[in-house]
Structure 1
């Protein structure tokens, strides 16, 4: 049975509730080890009025502070970062087969003086690799060519060379059979009338990647406003909201986040800390369970 290191996320949010709720389910599939110390675990469980399972294995992460449900603060931000780094190091040291992350709060990280915007940026720095962010569920997966950058900066990033490298890395990280590549512009540029990135960069990158792969793996550029109409498939989006707005409209509860093109496999819930329902017993465990299932089905990919 695979051992999965679970980073506990922001303790002012829903992560710890999800971990406790789902434990008896996921322990049938994998052996989880939770990156938290006993003192903080007991504090959270008491606030939730939930029992701690006897077989809830923890990996000690130092820290002691008052949990303030639904609150952005530096203490929770630092602890969530330390929990994540503990999970990463367990995987790096081959003491865990993969990691699954529960949600952090970016503002809490900032208050704690952490220079990163999120998990993926940390993984890029730790492993010196171009980690690829992919989100979705079995029905639909969307990988993001650009992620957390202003929309005004996207077009300059869409070059043939950059996109070709991305497409090759993505192919080598998955076992998918066919992947659609979205255009950047409305109507995929309409033959150059509404923009020429599709003609001079995106289509050449698709052709070059398929040539290197030696099969017709990628197709497109696809018209973005109709690409998702079937509600199924695997896609490369040029920017964050282009891919995630339709995905979350269709599969918000089921979707997960996966970091590809790394020496380790990392999956995560595809939702935030949900401060509005923290410690109210209302957290949904579906995304977390799917994040664990992805590891079982796709461990061989990395």
Structure 2
């Protein structure tokens, strides 16, 4: 039997639902891995007291370098933002130092990070800087995966980011990380530009697709996995999903709106093109329901994030 990997769980924004997810899910995920939660016992105690939950006796924890603060359920707060970032940073360092096998992140609030003076727009941006590598944000489940060529930028900025060289490299990195033999690449504009009538960015996308396919074919793989630019409004229809299991979207909502409409409960966030394994839940802090009694709490995305991290870390062990 494979050993149970050690999973570093960054606790996210303590004003949100992350700590409750960790407490309620612990009995299940400890059967798959050895989780270590990057939260101090004192902050865990404060959250558990509000939630009227017990802290499991085997709730292994490691405190980030941050002072305790008052939990404000459902509120955007700089103290919670800073704590969530430092929890994430220490969890990543544990994996970098081979003290853990993978990172699973619970949700943070980007505004809280901003209020705390954290200079990143989210986990993936931070990982790119930590490792000086072009991390790829991929979300989905076994039924469908979507990679985001641009992610947390304003929509008006997307067209100028679509450059042939950059997109070609992104496509090649994505194919290398996933091993996918067929990848649908979305156009940017309605009708994929309609031959220039509705936009010209598809010319650049088509050139990047051709360059990436030529590169792979030239390396002797006999593989030309990229198809497109696909018309975005029909790319995720049932018929198209019979043809494509992997997609590349040009911007955040283009890929995530259909994914979450189809597979919200099952989806996870996976960071590719990094020397560590990192997965995350595919939802936010849910401030509207945080710490409220008698309301349903869906653990499916967290369970899937942990399962994915375990599988990816074991696969890396087998390769090394």
TM above 0.5, yes or no, is yes
Paired residue for 1:27? 30
Gaps of 5+ in 1: none
Aligned residues: 301
Question: Residue 272 in 1 paired to residue 276 in 2?
Answer: no
Of 115-124 and 171-180, deviating more is 171-180
Paired residue for 1:172? 176
Q: In the alignment, is the contact (CA less than 8 A) between 2:7 and 2:36 conserved in 1?
A: yes
2:229 counterpart (221, 226, 232): 221
Displaced runs of 4 or more, over 4 A: none
Question: Residue 91 in 1 paired to residue 103 in 2?
Answer: no
How many angstroms apart in 2 are the aligned matches of 1:35 and 1:175?
Answer: 32
How many angstroms apart in 2 are the aligned matches of 1:239 and 1:177?
Answer: 22
Q: Summarize deviations over 1:21-51 as a string: whole Å, max 9, x none.
A: 1111111111110001111111111111111
How many angstroms apart in 2 are the aligned matches of 1:108 and 1:202?
Answer: 35
2:150 counterpart (146, 152, 155): 146
Q: TM-score by structure 2 length?
A: 0.90
Paired residue for 1:5? 8
Gaps of 5+ in 2: 218-222
How many angstroms apart in 2 are the aligned matches of 1:56 and 1:176?
Answer: 38
Q: Summarize deviations over 1:54-73 as a string: whole Å, max 9, x none.
A: 11111122421111111111
Q: TM-score by structure 1 length?
A: 0.96
Paired residue for 1:118? 122
Matched residue SS, 1:59 = coil
Paired residue for 1:73? 77
Matched residue SS, 1:272 = coil
What is the deviation of 1:175? 3.3
Paired residue for 1:290? 304
Q: Summarize deviations over 1:123-163 as a string: whole Å, max 9, x none.
A: 01110011111111111111110111121211111121111
Of 206-215 and 118-127, deviating more is 206-215
1:49 counterpart (38, 43, 52): 52
What is the deviation of 1:219? 1.1
Paired residue for 1:235? 247
How many angstroms apart in 1 are the aligned matches of 2:102 and 2:169?
Answer: 25
